[in-house]
Structure 1
Amino acid sequence: MTKRNNPNDEIIKSMSTGQATIEELISVLVTEANEAEDDEHKTSEQLRLLMRKHYTVGGLADVLSVFGPVKDDFITLGKIAKSRAVTIFRDLKSGAGSTGPSSTMKPPDSHIDTSAHIVSPSKPSEMPSSNPASSFYNQTTSNKDVPLDVISQSQKLLRYANSALEHEDIATAVYNCEQALQLLQPYNH
């Protein structure tokens, strides 16, 4: 999916649709990561996949800045995800097979009991009282996990996008974000 090949695709031509798609992907990945975190005994491969999901959430949260000010809950999710990815990486490096109990992230707009999770964003009053995307989350199946190679490639593209932003190269940043969206979009349904 490129801008030239799909000039009428709403995800590519609409900034708000692109932003909503990335926010939705973050929510899906956070939900999957939380489900994986619930299993106390994880293999090294499961930990690597979990680490990559957390890292991808952190990268996607950074990419949201392309669209303007980022909502506090996504900033918080990005920080938590990056921290958790580092913790899992250190555990893997030290040879740990399971990271044991951990704090979990809460996807924005979810109805998960926050008392069992880490501190919610600083402006909880901005959270909607209903979840318009709840049917989307119910349709997501746990057996349709994103393959590791897709996660790795998406992370790579998001790193490129972040680097381009640091050099104020907006066109390259947007291009790399579009490529990451193209890779992840099939797993968003």
Structure 2
Amino acid sequence: MVFNLPVLLTWLRIAFIPLLVFLFYLDRAWAPLAAATVFGLAGLTDWADGYLARLWRQESRFGAFLDPVADKLIVAVALILLVEREASIWMTLAAAIIIGREIVISALREWMAESGTRSKVAVAFIGKLKTTAQIIALIFLLYNQDLFGVLPMRELGVAALAIATLLTLISMIQYLRSAFEPE
């Protein structure tokens, strides 16, 4: 197993999961800000681990495996927490689409790798855009309060989650098309 700063940042993202859950359920006025901050820091480690691995030429097969696993785990946990709190069909549907897409694309990539055609489903720009929209939406929804008493973070989070869900569907369709295009 490889140990370098990029891989440690990825492990940190996984280690943030129990802290996120704890803060989400903590009955303190500052807890929503703390939960949103932890999730935001996790989003920064997602960017930083890949950037540093490329910059320092510390890319590894293990890091390439662990990074998307960490991303999917913390996003899925955040969505599950929000589904429980919101108990709405729209939040549940968005979470099901986002989590379902991640399972489908992960399985597709594994299948394509076994057939030697994994490059057909390499990460695309829309996937990065989707991830950014998800991170923003989840930070806002975890915070769930008006910022400075004025900015409606929950409503902005719902709108960002709708955009993220749409991008999720579009990216899944693009990946599936790429995978099944004739050679």
Check whether TM > 0.5.
no
| Bigger share in helix | 2
Bigger Rg, which one: 2
In the superposition, the TM-score normalised over structure 2's length comes to: 0.36
